[in-house]
């Protein structure tokens, strides 16, 4: 857990239907991420941003897999970088960008860590495929792709990495699903904790059960979509939905992950500064990374 931290920005908004999340990495960095991590004793190197094409210089292509070629190319590059970071015994901290980048991040994790687990914080299931998507936006497909579901052309973004086993995936904070996506999740082996589960059990118990579920994994990757937060707390996201995780629930979840000593990689995605208020969401993203990486009140 005290490995050097390698920060990678992926300024991509090709996977979403709304512009602006390509500025997310800058917003999180602007919140003082590197300096604040160094103040709690962590060694940090910022590797800068991947070069990602803009929509204006890209081709939409298949309306059910928009910007497929560009997203696949970016994810392949990201997967190699993440694999290399873990191979150097460093901690990858990936800043998005839209959630489609998770295909690349998780592919890199899967190549480097046999039998890795994923804890997925999100309002949405991101479990659509090209056959079920209502929008064609690939940021609604990365969890499905990471477990090996979907169009082979999109699965190629994993670069041959093995899929994550569904039994090794926990999704937390889910509260908005498309009907076919809901049925696919019900029939899958993914462990899902909805917002109703958090209401009934409390975040501490949800996280306890999640950590039990991933026991024995080689390590845990956390994929944190900022839209899992209540929009009153995190307004700067592209797809806000009322009734999300509170500020303290999110920090408790991150603190419990650090205390468990199993976190090996992390990405934070979907910060949209265009829709934010005084970088509130960018600051929160940085604060949650700090809690996951060792910052404590006392």
Active-site residue list: 99, 122, 124, 126, 139, 225, 227, 270
Closest CA to 10 of 71, 101, 81, 92: 101
* Cis preceding linkage at 86, omega within 30: no
Q: In what order do the strands lie in the sheet with 169-174?
A: 44-49, 5-10, 91-96, 263-269, 220-225, 117-121, 169-174, 191-194
Query: Which residue is associated with the tokens 């960008």?
Result: 97
CB 124 within 8 A of CB 140: yes
Give every CB contact of residue 162 below 8 A, 6+ residues apart in sequence.
Answer: 110, 111
Degrees, nearest 5: CA angle 289-93-27: 65
Query: Which residue is associated with the tokens 């996506």?
Result: 181
> Between the CA of residue 179 and those of 73, 153, 176, 195, 199, what are the distances in Å?
30, 24, 10, 17, 22
Instruction: Give residue 40's region: left, alpha or beta (phi > 0; psi -120 to 50).
Output: alpha
CA 9, CA 242: separation in Å to the nearest integer?
Answer: 28
- Sign of torsion over alpha carbons 25, 29, 30, 33: positive
Task: Give the bridge partners for 91, in sequence order.
Answer: 5
How far does the chain reach from its first CA to its final CA, in angstroms? 19
DSSP 234-248: ----SS--SS-B-HH
């Amino acid at each position: 857990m005290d490995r050097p931290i390698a920060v990678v920005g992926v300024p991509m908004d090709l996977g979403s239907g709304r512009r602006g999340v390509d500025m997310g990495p800058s917003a999180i960095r602007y919140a003082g991420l590197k300096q604040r991590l160094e103040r709690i004793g962590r060694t940090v190197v910022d590797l800068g941003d991947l070069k990602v094409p803009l929509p204006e210089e890209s081709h939409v292509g298949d309306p059910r897999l928009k910007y497929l070629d560009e997203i696949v190319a970016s994810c392949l590059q990201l997967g190699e970088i993440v694999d290399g970071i873990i191979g150097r015994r460093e901690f990858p901290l990936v800043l998005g960008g839209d959630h489609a980048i998770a295909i690349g991040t998780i592919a890199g994790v899967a190549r480097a860590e046999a039998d890795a687990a994923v804890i997925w914080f999100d309002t949405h299931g991101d479990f659509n495929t090209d056959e079920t998507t209502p929008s064609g936006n690939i940021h609604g497909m990365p969890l499905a792709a990471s477990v090996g579901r979907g169009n082979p052309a999109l699965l190629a973004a994993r670069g041959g990495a093995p899929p994550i086993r569904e039994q090794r995936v926990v999704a937390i904070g889910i509260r908005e699903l498309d009907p076919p996506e809901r049925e696919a999740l019900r029939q899958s082996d993914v462990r899902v904790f909805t917002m109703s589960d958090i209401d009934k059990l409390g975040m501490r118990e949800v996280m306890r059960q999640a950590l039990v579920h991933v026991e024995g994994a080689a390590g845990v990757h956390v994929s944190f979509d900022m839209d899992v937060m209540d929009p009153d707390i995190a307004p700067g996201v592209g797809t806000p939905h009322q009734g999300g995780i509170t500020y303290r629930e999110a920090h408790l979840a991150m603190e419990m992950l650090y205390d468990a000593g199993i976190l090996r990689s992390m990405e934070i995605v979907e910060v949209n500064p265009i829709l934010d208020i005084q970088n509130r969401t960018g600051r929160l993203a940085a604060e949650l990374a700090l809690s996951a990486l060792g910052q404590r009140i006392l």
